[in-house]
Amino acid sequence: MFKKKRTLIALVEDKPGVLNRVVSLFRRRGYNIQSLAVGGSERTGLSRMSFVVVGDSAVVEQVRKQLDKLIDVVKVSDITDMDAVFRELALIKVKAPASVRSEIMQIVDIFRANIVDVSLNSLTVEVTGDDSKIGSLIGLLHRFGIKEIARTGKIAITRGGVKD
């Protein structure tokens, strides 16, 4: 069957061990997580987890149901096909000797990214966006020599008007 990337969001109890339960489930059932982001939510005592998983629709439906079965999970939604905002933040440290520095800064400008750290030989770029935006920026910076990349993983929220 056709495998594709799906984004799930889960509202979970903010208790010790919950992340472990969730990750253990993925390991135990052999599901593939491409990215996972966890943080607070609008409700005290609850966290929001965003997952990107890869699999055919039957697998992803199983992931959703198995997650929902965990006692600490309040709600799980597959929002891939919903009207939602997806964002990820990446920090990219790129080699930047004086000769190419301005060229890099131009690219950064076009992507509405920021330079958050500068040293003699490198620049650190902060970029926010969806997969393809971050992907193309990384692609463009590649030829300058990328020293390090740190990515948060995708987080998502449904657009206003969509019911909870």
Partner 1 sequence: MNKTGAQILCDSLVKEGVEVIFGILGGALLPLYDILPQYPQIRHILTRHEQGAVHAAEGYARATGRVGVCIATSGPGATNLVTGIADAYMDSVPLVAITGQVATPFIGKDAFQETDITGITLPITKYNYLVTDVTRLAEIVKEAFHIAQTGRPGPVLIDIPKDVLQAVTNFVYPEKVNLPSYKITSRGHMAQIRRAVKLIDKAERPLIIAGRGILISRAWDELKLLAEKAQIPVVSTLLGLSSFPGRHILNFGMLGMHGMAYANLAVQNADLVIAIGMRFDDRATANTDDFAPLARIIHIDIDPAEISKNVPADVPIVGDVKAVLNVLNKEVGSNDHLEWVSQLGQWKYEYPLVDLSQGDKLLPQYIVEQICEVTQGDTVVVTGVGQHQMWAAQHFTYTRLNSFISAGGLGPMGFGLPAAMGARIGLPEETVWCIDGDGSFQMNIQELGTIAQERIAIKIAIMNNGFLGMVRQWQEMFYHGRYVHTKLWNPDFVKIAEAYDIPGIRVKHKEEVVSAINRAMDCPGPFLLDFAVEPEENVYPMVSPGENLAKFIDTPRPEVLSK
* Binding region for partner 1 (CB under 8 A): 12-13, 17, 20-21, 24-25, 28, 58, 61-62, 65-66, 68-69, 71-74
Q: Which is nearer to partner 1, 159 or 163 (CB)?
A: 163
| Minimum distance from residue 21 beta carbon to partner 1 (Å) | 6
| Minimum distance from residue 69 beta carbon to partner 1 (Å) | 5
Environment class of 118 (CB within 10 Å of its CB; exposed 0-12, middle 13-18, buried 19+): exposed
Q: How many CB atoms lie within 10 A of CB 125?
A: 26
Q: Which is nearer to partner 1, 73 or 127 (CB)?
A: 73
| Minimum distance from residue 88 beta carbon to partner 1 (Å) | 27
Determine the number of helices (DSSP H) and then strands (DSSP E) in the chain: 4, 9
Q: How far apart are CA 20 and CA 34, in angstroms?
A: 17
Q: Which is nearer to partner 1, 62 or 114 (CB)?
A: 62
81: CB partners within 8 A, 6+ apart = none
Helices (DSSP H) in the chain: which residue ranges? 18-29, 57-69, 98-110, 131-141
Q: Which is nearer to partner 1, 68 or 148 (CB)?
A: 68
| Minimum distance from residue 80 beta carbon to partner 1 (Å) | 19
